[in-house]
Amino acid sequence: MKIHYIPCLEDNYSYLIIDESTKEAAVVDPVEPEKILNVANEHGVHLKLVLTTHHHWDHAGGNEKIKQLVPGIKVYGGSIDKVKGCTDAVENGDKITLGADVVILSLHTPCHTKGHISYYVSSKEGEDPAVFTGDTLFIAGCGKFFEGTAEQMYQSLCVTLGSLPKQTRVYCGHEYTVKNLLFALTVEPDNEKIKGKLLWAQGQRQAGHATVPSTIEEEMETNPFMRVDLPQLQERVGSHSPVEAIGEIRRLKDIWKG
């Protein structure tokens, strides 16, 4: 299994997931279809599937066009998310196969949108798994609570995604890492892991490189939204429960001028 990130629009990422034995590929959120096809052709792969994380235009807006460019391609999306161009609706726990070796598990991770799906991808070859989290989980951050509640985001981040194997690689929908880490330092100014990752992320961006992937383990160490089970973090933001804390941190992030 090979994964390639494809920068799109201003700060979006699409991803190409390749089953190397069959050269079949899936694409996550192909908002710029022509660009995706060029990358697929460069790697000599056949696009079979579209994995849409959620209905927002900067993720699902290329679906109709890619269906025209690749006749017969299957477009997956959350069953309650009204994804443009969707041919195959998925629920939490549905499995999709790609080629001979790759298995894709649909995880319902609502809050940013009601039907948001993250895709957990594993290979029979035994490589570290990956999860494509759209706008639910960003590196060191999370999406705005447009269609859901703090309780839902806690379940999505800390329960559903937080229970994945620690070595799972995290591929998110936007390049927001540096700003997210700067904000994370306002919540936990003494967190050395955040300081270290911020320096690394700034270096990556200055060199023109992406900051994906992270890992679930790194997120548990540096992402304040995934650390709300810690009593000291709850106390720091004046909250008395993980759910209250995640809501308060989101409120603070929404008004932060960093």
Q: CATH number of the domain at 146, please.
A: 3.60.15.10
Residue 160 C-beta-side C-alpha neighbours within 13 Å: 26
**Is 112 assigned a catalytic role?**
yes
Q: Which entry of 29, 54, 81, 116 is annotated as an active-site residue?
A: 54
Number of domains in the chain: 1
Q: What's the confidence (pLDDT) of residue 126?
A: 84
Tens-place pLDDT, residues 104-134: 999 999 999 999 999 999 998 889 999 999 9
Active site residue 135: yes
Residue ranges of alpha helices (H) inside the chain are 33-42, 57-60, 63-69, 150-154, 177-187, 192-206, 216-222, 231-236, 242-255
User: What is the rounded distance in angstroms from the CA atom of residue 239 to the CA atom of residue 108?
Assistant: 27
Annotation marks residue 174 as catalytic: yes
pTM: predicted TM-score of the whole model, two decimal places: 0.98
55, 56, 108, 116: the active-site residue: 56
Residue 4 to residues 31, 32, 44, 130, 197: CA-CA distances in angstroms? 15, 15, 13, 12, 22
Tokens 């050269």: give the residue.
Answer: 23
Catalytic residue list contains 59: yes
Indicate which residue of 19, 29, 55, 59 is catalytic: 59
pLDDT at 145: 98
Residue 101: active-site member:
no
Q: Which long-range contacts (CB under 8 A, 24 or more apart) does 238-242 make?
A: 242/154, 242/158
Kindly give the parts of the chain with pLDDT less than 70.
Answer: none
43 is catalytic: no
Coil/strand/helix, residue 145: coil
Residue 141's beta-bridge partner residues? 138
Backbone angles phi, psi at 210, to 5 degrees: -80, 165
Q: What share of the chain is helix, strand, coil (3-state, %, to 5)?
A: 35, 25, 40
The predicted structure's pLDDT at residue 258: 79
Domain of residue 249 covers 2-255
Among 4, 43, 58, 94, the active-site one is 58
* Upper half-sphere CA count for residue 162 (Cβ side, 13 Å): 17
- The radius of gyration computed from the CA coordinates of the chain, to the nearest angstrom, equals 18
- Annotated active-site residue 58? The verdict is yes
Q: What pLDDT score does 125 carry?
A: 84
d(CA 217, CA 90): 27
